[in-house]
Amino acid sequence: MRFTSFLGTLAAATLAGLALIGSLASALTVPPRSSTPSVLPQELLPTSDGITALKEFSELFILDPSFAVVKPEGANALIKRNRRRKVKSIRFANADSVTVGSVLVEYRTDNHMPEYMTIKRHTLDGNVSDVAVIEFEYDEDYRVVETFRLEVPRKSAIAEQYAHPNGSTTMLLNLPDMATIETHGVQLWDGRSIPIASASDV
């Protein structure tokens, strides 16, 4: 599976020899696509607990109230775009122009929508101190992302977002060793831009 090989390549390229964060966990088992959420709600936690739990899982991105990459405090975002004017990479630099974080986006070849995103934090001497890999799965018409497959060192999770007929939205977040977290009112992400949130705002 491509997701498995992608994570294996990432681990070899960016995390080899880093005792601080170890190697990435094995890739997620991908269930069949469905029009209804595949994460079954067991014990449901309130939204506030969900936000806290997700921050403990990773501080590199948020999913509630909407998906966004978290920018290190005080850093500037330097964006590079591809030939289609889509964001190819983001470098977060501090006041001394030292890279303290980075984002790399890989796009699908058929419709040029984001397929994978790698988010990293860097120490001042250039080493990788934290990393997250996200795979995006869309609805049938590629209007919004339905599933976020999340991978951080030694842990993985799945978040599924969907809209109800009345226009309201729900996210089911399945974190390791926790009950399923249900959140309402999330903003679905269409993948057409890369939102950035400041660390001080999350």
| Each residue's pLDDT tens digit, 8-34 | 445 444 444 343 334 433 333 333 333
Q: How many helices and strands (H and E) does the chain possess?
A: 2, 12
Does residue 3 or residue 21 have the better pLDDT?
A: 3
Does residue 127 or residue 9 have the better pLDDT?
A: 127
- Nearest of 83, 82, 101, 81 to residue 91 by alpha carbon: 101
Range of the domain at 146: 37-201
Provide the pLDDT for residue 51: 75
Does residue 37 or residue 147 have the better pLDDT?
A: 147
Provide the pLDDT for residue 197: 95
- What is the tally of structural domains in the chain? 1
Average pLDDT over residues 145-166: 95
Amino acid at 129: S
Does residue 78 or residue 178 have the better pLDDT?
A: 78
**Beta-bridge partners for 181:** 45, 173
In a domain, 22, yes or no: no
User: How far does the chain reach from its first CA to its final CA, in angstroms?
Assistant: 34
In a domain, 5, yes or no: no
In a domain, 110, yes or no: yes
In a domain, 46, yes or no: yes
In a domain, 148, yes or no: yes
Tell me: cis bond preceding 65? Omega within 30 of 0 counts.
Answer: yes
In a domain, 21, yes or no: no
Residue 145 has pLDDT above 60, yes or no: yes
pLDDT band at residue 49 under the 50/70/90 scheme:
low
In a domain, 103, yes or no: yes
* pTM for the model: 0.79
In a domain, 138, yes or no: yes
Q: What is the mean pLDDT of the chain?
A: 82
Residue 191 has pLDDT above 50, yes or no: yes
